[in-house]
Amino acid sequence: MTRKKTRIAVFMGGVSLEHEVSLRSGQGVMQALTASGYDVTGVTLLKDGRWRFPDVEPLSPAEALGHLMRLSPDCVFIALHGPNGEDGRIQGLFDCIGLPYTGSGCAASALAIDKVRAKAVATTAGIRTAPHFIVSHQMWKNDHTAIAHQVMDKMGLPTVIKAPSQGSSCGMAIPQNEHDFVRDMNEVITLEDVAMIEAYVQGLEVTCSVLDTFETHGCRALPVTEIRPNTSAFFDYYSKYTPGASAEITPARIGAHLAHAVQEAAVNTHNALGCTGWGRSDFIIDDNGPVWLETNTVPGLTETSLFPQAAAVEGISYNELIALLVEDGIQRWHYRRQKD
């Protein structure tokens, strides 16, 4: 009797600014799962919101949901980045219809993607963060000159402007002067009608991946990666996804004591936010140690992405990593069912 293959639906694309990055992650995941013997179906969420299955015309979400249930996957691999994929919405949908999926649950995903509220949780947990304040679109329209002067008085320039729920450095700028600050704020604040203005921290950028699966028996920090953009002022979209645009060195050349401090902060933040499965936290190391920037619950998953790089140093191949995340999603689902 032939054993039925485990059927996996890989979700990729989406309506966020990270659509193309997600497609690359999804394709890598599909290739890895196919090579490992899984029955794989790719599901592409188009930019207009429709879902595309193989050999089927794009469907509205309502129609697509029925098609997905008939497909009856054993697990959904979420390779969606940014809003409407990494923010808990799709996770909550799968919870409601009873489908296992990879990575963090609905609440942790929603919390982690919101840089403002995630920072509040991290700070409460004793993680060092940069000073910041929030500006609404209405506040900016009412008196942008006063806000610009407030930033210069309290934080100085350069400073960091972030749209709170974007990823891959989308909706982010580091203005060097007042003119650039006003220009960048006008662009960023329209994305979410709010912007987070954060003090600029001078130092070395690093990232630390965390593996948190049943198979690994708890939360485990992978080796720290040192990031050095070759031309950009910071690890922006170009530096992240252009071959040769940055040097990514794993393990980071920072010494054992400092590496442990970064790993400890990554694990503590992962746990404080309630993340599960996997995740990656970004830091700047200044003269006083690591400063936490954000936690990604669905990091990039091409074979050269930061998380797979760190896993490879630990002896976990790309294909093994992807299979590990799938099996964890299935095991967690059955564990929750047994508890209920």
159, 181, 199 - which closes a domain: 199
Q: Are residues 49 and 170 in the same domain?
A: no
Q: Which residues of 259-292 are buried (b: 16+ CB within 10 A; e: fewer)?
A: bebbbebbbbbbebbebbbbbbbbbbbeeeebbb
Q: What percent of the chain has pLDDT over 70?
A: 91
Cis check: omega of the bond before 243, within 30 degrees of 0: no
Residue 322 lies in a domain: no
Sheet strands (E) in 67-131 = 75-78
Q: For residue range 4-22, list pLDDT tens digits in order.
A: 689 999 999 999 888 999 9
Straight-line distance from the first to the last Cα atom of the chain, in angstroms, rounded to the nearest whole number: 33
Q: For residue range 195-252, list pLDDT tens digits in order.
A: 999 999 999 999 999 999 987 677 999 999 999 866 555 544 444 544 555 789 999 9
Which residue in the block uniquely carries the two structure tokens 């503590």? 268
Q: What is the pTM of this model?
A: 0.89
Q: Are residues 228 and 115 in the same domain?
A: yes
Structurally, the chain folds into a number of domains equal to 3
Residue 321 lies in a domain: no
Q: Are residues 187 and 224 in the same domain?
A: no
DSSP annotation of 141: H
Q: Are residues 120 and 249 in the same domain?
A: yes
Q: Are residues 123 and 187 in the same domain?
A: no
Q: Are residues 35 and 54 in the same domain?
A: yes
